[in-house]
Structure 1
């Protein structure tokens, strides 16, 4: 992975009494959040999430943090603290526990319940410690205090980690909704108390640092949903994150008010909402829920389907509905609500789903044309308040693309944090906190680890590039038989093309040139078939680039006879 400090080498040995922070994901991207803190030879991990692939990563299911940095030090890990239950913070936990199954997982009740359900599918029984806001725990060399923060999922926590080198406050994902649905606001009193005691390094959510002002409250979504429900003559399909308990609660309440029944669609949606209801985080009005199998017994104007796929994920329920590849079909008169924001990188996939649904005749309501979603991340105005309350000595923006990190750093400087104490880092960059000052000291390898079907980490960037070439540029195979005596061409060249719009006759232009190049190479003393294959690759590649304006994958086969 690239990083903003190409001059850096591997970091030095950690100085005695110093604290080291290495982000293995989440810096320079939205996803796969994971930070490793090191003190006195021990490690503490904060979050362990996944990143979802983009269009230029065909065949990839998930992208994991790179565990190589800690793979040889698994026994040094005191615990993994999970700030909340979103996939970009907990999704990679099963893959880490495959390396060491008894690493303690620390988090809130709902977060651990979501993780345990996920681990059950991987046949892993974890060691867990449930914590609440206001609770303190000594995890080996790390003193941890947990602080309530408001986010788009219940039970989110920030964590203040205290060592002999100072105190690090990691917000996780947070915002400052003053009227949250569950009444659980971000605990600014605890932030103020920590600030008074002294926060030496503030690791703070950057996702909305470019968004001015303050976010609207989740409560403003309810009236909008009511209006959409009242204007919908037939079925309503609502797509949301499978962990967005607050949004599902609003849909259940709206359905109850409008005399509709709700069916959950999608395995993760059913699993998570069952957990949330069992633990008391989701209140289901009597008679509102119905099994998807019984939908045929209801008229269309009494049905609400709550499904996954708000980010255009190809295998999620909504994408399959949009592609007419699901047992649920939508058409004229139906309404589809995308109750989520666009995660950067997912725009094309989401618009593809919106277009597909619109083509089928459905009315699509989304954040671009109605207020059906409120972000879960603090905007610039909220970040200003937090900086002024905390007065941190050093700041390390986390959770965001580069532009978000830079914008967050600028907000910190505007509130009086010295510019040299704002550390802008990307994945793999090593930061040491020594004598109260945080600074970049090195970099460690930190690449993408791809989950591709049942394989983990076996797919390389080179192989992924080959997939992209195959999908975009096509494939050419060239078969030639040459004489082992004098190198003359006996059979061929024969060209087989896939993924080309041109007629096969176009390849006749290159055959004489290719034959001449092979025989000239033979006269020059080239007899090794591998070298002759390189001749074929160069000649055909140059011709395809100049004549067809394409850079296809070229597979030459040269056989001696």
Structure 2
């Protein structure tokens, strides 16, 4: 397999005429932030524009965006953004891209565009959009796009087949091959076969479950499990899922109707997305099942189902707040909580913390590890092999997954007959050129994380996050000292304040004489000293002592005033 191994950045060469360039700006080596830029003849087409959710080592961060710097000076060349489906990791960054240029066309299915338009309305952006469906062919500048029905954990997902002078590309988006989908809409392998007859120069396939053998379990198998759990539950049932998982919500509504329970949606995104899905006909709401959350208190516990957000342990989501006891819904003994989703890598600790909190409150917690309450939305290894055998692509570029997933996908491609040299394992920012049936990595562009922190976008750096981790894990010490600028004698202080380092500030009494001596020695030995140098002396003196004495590495802020 071909892999980027050169250290540092290599600027790609000028794009030759008639060559298709592919630059992933996210989704390679991670689960989320999916975004790929295609370029030919001076025009750009973007496929997906999603967000990545922060992990525990990124404190205070709300969202992580793709790095738009590669596009910033070329927004006028963008002919459109194709959105494969409506999950946040594929559409969540669209508002931030359109802030740069609001009239970039958005192309997607009916449900996908409805979800992204509702999100854009919150940002006061009214987009130019084009609704497409499977089988439709549209041209955007030098790109001809043909859309293919694929099955996923959200309705109306599409793969996109690109025809260009540089070659053809099939990008699956997220997909699986569920043969018994709830909406009857399967991944269209007959359409794949027709594209294979034409010739697929590059296959960009979802890698998320490439290391899982066999085939993904059918969505229909969740229904009997929910029915059993609903029959057993004696009090309230709380089901947590992604706010866009229409199929899961449909199964919960069906089970609630069968057991004569009422359902209330909990969480702003859940309410918004299900209203959109019901209005467009993607969600079939049984008559009389839905109630407003504010009316739940008037119902007996055994008649209540709460459909909630927070299945990934997000701190501000409804389920996390219930587990912490700071939500208006108070979870109690005998309540049943069902986590109807998988664990996104990196969220394990947060989810287990929520589970433990709910168990302490007396709830019965059911999750994927204890019952069949979730099936994946991504193709397993057997399904990917089917696709490779049907498509017989000349080249393969695994996308959407961590490194282990990408490598597993690449091995499946090789097993199906794709030559090892034609399997490209890339990174975010890798530059791939496709011409005359040959795809090769030609360079790399800078492509970092862009952090959304409150109202700031891209202002928080990795150094800032390192400081936050130190503050959270090791604590903070400030030392204020006034010295005589000629003799170095202490006129006031050292005054030491600490947070999260020791139980009592008196522990620092031993270090104060050492600070005074270090400052005096520095002043008397160097008449040309600066205040910054004195502060560094204090930092080193305190840092060495704290590390040896207390076994900690806190953030140290020295303030030295000369008088």
Alignment of 1:28-427 (within 5 A): 28-427=29-428
Instruction: Quote the Cα distance in structure 2 between the aligned partners of 1:77 and 1:365.
Output: 46
- The alpha carbon displacement at 1:344 in A equals 0.4
Matches of 2:544 and 2:130, distance apart in 1 = 61
* 2:532 aligned residue: 530
- Check the 8 A contact 1:478/1:496 in 2, yes or no: yes
Structure 2 unaligned blocks of 5 or more? none
1:11-41 deviations in Å (ceiling 9; x for gaps): 1111111111111110010011000000011
Structure 1 Cα separation of the partners of residues 442 and 4 of structure 2: 13
Determine the structure 1 residue equivalent to 2:436. Answer: 435
Deviations along 1:239-280, whole A, 9 cap, x unmatched? 000000000000000000001010011111010000000000
1:4–1:425 Cα contact (<8 Å) kept: no
TM-score w.r.t. the length of structure 2 is 0.98
Distance apart, 1:435 and its partner CA: 2.5
Q: What is the aligned partner in structure 1 of residue 557 from structure 2?
A: 555
CA distance in 1, matches of 2:8, 2:495: 49
2:317, 2:510 → 1: CA distance? 46
Shift in Å, 1:8: 4.5
1:397-418: CA deviation from partner (whole Å, max 9, x where unpaired): 0000111101111111111111
Once the two structures are TM-superposed, the CA of residue 432 in structure 1 deviates from its matched residue by: 0.9
**Residue 204 of structure 2 contacts residue 397 of structure 2 at CA under 8 Å; is this kept in 1?**
yes
Q: Which whole-Å CA distance do the structure 1 matches of 2:510 and 2:291 have between them?
A: 65
Call closer, same or farther: CA 1:233–1:3 in 2, change over 3 Å: farther
Asked if the contact 1:29–1:401 (Cα under 8 Å) also holds between the matched residues in 2, the reply is yes
How far apart are 1:296 and its partner, in Å? 1.8
1:483-505: per-residue Cα shift (whole Å, max 9, x none)?
Answer: 12222222222211111234322
* Range with greater deviation from structure 2 (132-141 or 5-14): 5-14
Instruction: Give me the whole-angstrom Cα distance separating, in 1, the residues matched to 2:14 and 2:423.
Output: 23
Contact kept? 1:151, 1:377, Cα under 8 Å = yes
Matched, 1:450 2:451: yes
Separation in structure 2 between the aligned mates of residue 328 and residue 471 of structure 1, nearest angstrom: 30
2-structure distance, mates of 1:280, 1:296: 29
- Is the 8 Å Cα contact of residues 25 and 37 (structure 2) preserved in structure 1? yes
For 1:81-113, what per-residue CA distance to the aligned partner results, in whole angstroms no more than 9, with x for missing partners? 000000000000000000000000000000000
Q: 1:520, CA displacement in angstroms?
A: 1.3
Residues 347-384 of structure 1 show CA distances to partners (whole Å, capped at 9, x for unaligned) of 00000000000100000010010000000000011111
1:316-343 CA-to-partner distances (Å, cap 9, x unmatched) read 0000000001000111111000000000
- Structure 1 regions of 5+ residues with no counterpart? none
The answer (yes or no) to whether the contact 2:208–2:402 under 8 Å persists in 1 is yes
SS at match of 2:118: helix
What is the CA RMSD across the aligned residues, in angstroms? Answer: 1.1
Secondary structure of 2:168's match? strand
C-alpha displacement at 1:3, in angstroms?
A: 7.2
1:4, CA displacement in angstroms? 4.6
Residue 43 of structure 1, CA deviation: 0.2
Shift of 1:314: 0.5
Partner-residue secondary structure (3-state), 1:398? coil
Q: In 2, Cα distance between the equivalents of 1:479 and 1:522?
A: 17
- Matches of 1:524 and 1:192, distance apart in 2: 81
Q: Is the 8 A contact 2:486 2:523 kept in 1?
A: no
CA contact (8 A) 1:473 1:550 kept: yes
Q: CA deviation at 1:507?
A: 1.2
Flag as ranges the 4+ runs of structure 1 deviating above 4 A: none
Alpha-carbon separation, structure 2, partners of 1:429 and 1:94: 24
Contact 2:486 2:524 in 1 (8 A): no
Q: Distance in 1 between matches of 2:160 and 2:548?
A: 58
Offset at residue 218 of structure 1 (A): 0.3
- Given that residues 106 and 131 in structure 1 are in contact (C-alpha distance below 8 angstroms), is that contact kept between their aligned partners in structure 2? yes
Shift of 1:5: 3.5
- 289-298 or 63-72, which deviates more: 289-298
Quickly say closer, same or farther: Cα 1:4–1:95, change in 2 above 3 A. farther
Q: Distance in 2 between matches of 1:288 and 1:201?
A: 47
Instruction: Supply the distance in 1 between the matched residues of 2:330 and 2:538 (Cα, whole angstroms).
Output: 51
SS in 2 for 1:532: helix
Corresponding residue pairs, total: 560
Alpha-carbon displacement from aligned partner over 1:385-440 (angstroms, at most 9, x marks no partner): 00111111110000001111011111111111111111101111111113321111
Q: Is the 8 A contact 1:3 1:427 kept in 2?
A: no
Q: What SS is found at the alignment partner of 1:150? A: coil
Question: What whole-Å deviation, never above 9, does each CA across 1:41-79 have from its counterpart, x for those lacking one?
Answer: 100000000000111111110000000000000000000
Which range moved further: 100-109 or 463-472?
A: 463-472
SS of 1:530 mapped into structure 2: helix
| 8 Å CA contact retained: 1:487, 1:527 | no
Select the residue among 544, 547, 557 that pairs with 1:545: 547
The SS at the match of 1:205 is coil
User: What SS class does the counterpart of residue 113 from structure 1 fall into?
Assistant: helix
Partner Cα distance (2:5, 2:377) in 1: 28
8 Å CA contact 1:4–1:426 kept in 2: the answer is no
Q: CA deviation at 1:461?
A: 1.0
Task: State the SS of the aligned residue for 2:398.
Answer: strand
